[in-house]
Amino acid sequence: MPKKRQDIGEEYKWKLSDIYPDEKAWYDDYSKVERLLGEMEKYKGKLGSSARELYEAIKLSEEIERRGEKLYVYARMKRDEDNTLSSSQVLCDKAEMLGVKVNSQLSFMIPEMMDIPDEVLDKFLEEPELALYKHYFDELRRKKEHILSANEEKILAMTADLSTAPSQIFNMLNNADIKFPVIKDEEGKEVELTKANFGRFMESPDREVRKEAFKALYSSYAKLKNTLGATLNSSIKRDIFYARVRQYSSALEASLDGDNVKVEVYENLIATVHKHIGALHKYIALRKKVLGVDELHMYDLYVPLVKEYKKEYDYNKAKELVLEGLKVLGDDYVNQLKKGMENGWIDVYENEGKTGGAYSWGCYDSHPYVLLNYDNRLDDVFTLAHEMGHALHSYYSNTNQPYVYSQYPILLAEVASTVNESLLLDYMLKNTNDEKEKLYLINHYLEEFRGTVYRQTMFAEFEKIVHEKVEKGEPVTVDEFCKIYRELNRFYYGDEVVLDDEISLEWARIPHFYSAFYVYKYATGFSAATAIKEDIKEGGREAVERYMEFLKAGGSDYPLNILKRAGVDLTTPEPIEKALNYFASLVEEMEKLVK
């Protein structure tokens, strides 16, 4: 059973006091944002009157947004510490309501700026104080046909609170209300199943333990399947509503346009993975052979293939490995990494009510933060490297870019995290003479690849299918969700796997489906990271310098341009092909090791 939060050592908790020392400071900032919002009124209708008026309005809106972001990040992370605390829920609700108010009050700006004649705006941008915002305005102009009138934008901004309802409901169901059964572990002891220890049970060498955990987890989701189905359906309809209002041809096009990415890039990913699906089937067949089972079930897909090699990594060992594995990135990177590990950036262990999974977050006016649910597994070591990759990417972006360009585009979000994982894997493979450990690490990488490229592409395809069905006016019931998801599993995993009925419900527990068309970026990011990692290995110092410039670029250019400068062109199949071919070569190497 997870510990209570107060029973976990302070050295293993993040320090949210680095954002606000106490709730009084939070409420003081909250009041300040409300006051600043009142000051915005004087700029309405005047943004095109002079460069000075435009600049002052932009700076004031940035201050409001920065403080609002800081308020929300603190409140949300406070809630994530323990979702059952009503005091944290109150803070989060207030921050969300303030966010809606901010969006509503500032909604006049973009339409009004877009009404400034191009020749006038170009003249304004010649002023030194506004020259910084050239890319920002180029981006607005690119999206001009999708920007509505000031009144329409205000109405849309007022719907923001409603639009978060599906994800909020899912979050409460998935983190606070859902209860999992007690199962028996390998020693026959009764243990309460949790989302955090589910991964450990899926890696158990005891097949009955894996099976029981698998069925127990999905039995809990099955009890909520109708509610979860309605929640996901609502999320899909929300996506379609906003896409149509902004005159996009589809929800997919609307989502990708934020990164200036064409639908063809998304479709190319799916098509290229389909083309290479044989490598995954070959790996699955190898898994069945090594496990020596007559039937390979879905609960057999995560157990390490090296049965005799079981190793745990305590948190201190994990930190040591990550620091050593990333030394190739240079002293500055490693020093910042160590600073984060030792100065309250990370919330390490699971506790009652804590949000599951892992993430990196923060705001422009704080250092980055990382939430973990560390459980001493090899996966957890790589998760530490992964999330700290996000954190350092944010750190370098925030410290090298002005606020307007500080947030790196979502398309780039998974690159730095995956580069870290890949470098860590290389380090660990290089520093072992143990054939079983080598096999274990290759197995880990293949699993990471399967989960990040093949599985996330399957998720992306699921999202595309269900959104297109709803866009065509076709009803998508819980049974339809299950049918679509089951058939995708059949295609991706092939004939060697028995499709247990429970897997049809996996869609019901995937948080990313409430941020539609996000997961494809895991697959493209992994592919880009593979190319960058190889460049670092072969190119030495110059390659590291190019990569560091990538980390510092934030959102100062379009993401595909930033990647091209780092040597990766995602408008072609090449990076994805390269990654998939690397996967196939490791499957062949693994075949030799297990013979």
Residue-wise DSSP of 44-76: TT-TTT-HHHHHHHHHHHHHHHHHHHHHHHHHH
Q: How far is CA 504 from CA 298, 462, 485, 500, in A?
A: 11, 12, 6, 8
Grade residue 308 by pLDDT with cuts at 50, 70 and 90. Answer: low
The DSSP secondary structure of 261-276, one letter per residue, reads --HHHHHHHHHHHHHT
State pLDDT tens for residues 332-360: 999 999 999 999 999 999 999 999 999 99
Three-class DSSP category at 20: coil
What pLDDT does residue 388 have?
98
pLDDT at 143: 86
Q: Are strands 369-371 and 346-347 parallel, antiparallel or unpaired?
A: parallel
- How far CA 563 is from CA of 252, 409, 415, 546, in Å, comes to 22, 11, 9, 10
Comparing CA positions, the residue from 254, 327, 270, 333 lying closest to residue 548 is 333
Q: Please say if the pLDDT value at position 128 is more than 90.
A: yes
DSSP state of 4: P
Mean pLDDT, all residues of the chain: 94
Strand 190-192, strand 182-184: pairing? antiparallel
Please report where in the chains the tokens 């996506």 appear, as a residue. 239
What pLDDT is recorded for position 440?
84
Question: What's the topology of domain 5-163?
Answer: Butyryl-CoA Dehydrogenase, subunit A; domain 3 (1.20.140)
pLDDT digits (tens, 9 = 90+) for 78-115: 999 999 888 889 999 999 999 999 999 999 999 899 89
Nearest Cα to 394, choosing from 362, 346, 347?
Answer: 362
Contact 201, 216 (CB under 8 A): no
When pLDDT is averaged across residues 521-532 and rounded to a whole number, the result is 90
Instruction: Name the residue ranges covered by the structural domains of the chain.
Output: 5-163
Task: Report the share of the chain in percent with pLDDT over 70.
Answer: 100
Whether the CB-CB separation of 565 and 547 falls below 8 Å is answered with no
Residue 393, token pair as written in the block? 């990417």
Helix (H) or strand (E) holding 497, with range, is strand 497-498
Active site residue ranges: 387
Whether 487 contacts 275, CB under 8 Å:
no
Q: pLDDT for 364-414, tens place per residue?
A: 999 999 999 999 988 899 999 999 999 999 999 999 999 999 999 888 988
> Are 191 and 182 within 8 A, CB to CB?
yes
Evaluate whether 410 touches 260 at the Cβ level (below 8 Å). Answer: no
The Cα diameter of the chain in Å comes to: 76
How is residue 227 written in tokens?
A: 């509610």
Helix (H) or strand (E) holding 137: helix 134-142
Tokens of 376: 């001493």
Q: How far apart are CA 395 and CA 234, in angstroms?
A: 35
Residue with tokens 């068309």: 517
Contacts of 365 (CB under 8 A, 6+ apart): 19, 66, 70
Confidence of residue 160 (pLDDT cuts 50, 70, 90): confident
Please answer whether residues 521 and 415 qualify as being in contact, where contact means their C-beta atoms are separated by less than 8 angstroms: no
| Average pLDDT estimate for 50-57 | 96
Q: How far is the C-alpha of 273 from the C-alpha of 289, rounded, in Å?
A: 24
Instruction: Report pLDDT for 310.
Output: 73
Give the integer Cα–Cα distance in Å for 555 and 173: 34
- The answer to whether 345 and 391 have CB atoms below 8 angstroms apart is yes
Residue 234 neighbours by CB under 8 Å, 6+ apart: 165, 166
- In this model, does residue 593 exceed pLDDT 80? yes
Read off the tokens for 460. Answer: 């992306």
Smallest CA-to-CA distance from 392 within 337, 331, 345 is with: 337
Determine phi and psi for 498, rounding to 5 degrees.
-80, 120
User: Burial of 11 by CB count in 10 Å (0-12 exposed, 13-18 middle, 19+ buried)?
Assistant: exposed
Answer whether residue 539 shows pLDDT above 80: no
Neighbours of 25 (CB within 10 A): 13
CB atoms near residue 219 (< 10 Å):
14
The model's pLDDT over 431-460, given as tens digits with 9 standing for 90+, comes to 988 888 888 889 888 988 999 999 999 999
CA 20, CA 39: separation in Å to the nearest integer?
Answer: 24
Mean pLDDT calculated for residue range 282-297: 95
The mean per-residue pLDDT over the stretch 13-27 comes to: 96
Is the pLDDT confidence value at 182 over 90? yes
Q: Across residues 509-514, what is the average pLDDT?
A: 96
- Cβ atoms of residues 163 and 238 within 8 Å: yes
**Amino acid identity at 297:** H
Exposure pattern of 258-290 as b/e (b: 16+ CB <10 Å)? Answer: ebbbebebbebbbebbeebbebbbbbbbbbbeb
Collapsed DSSP state (helix, strand, coil) of residue 434: coil
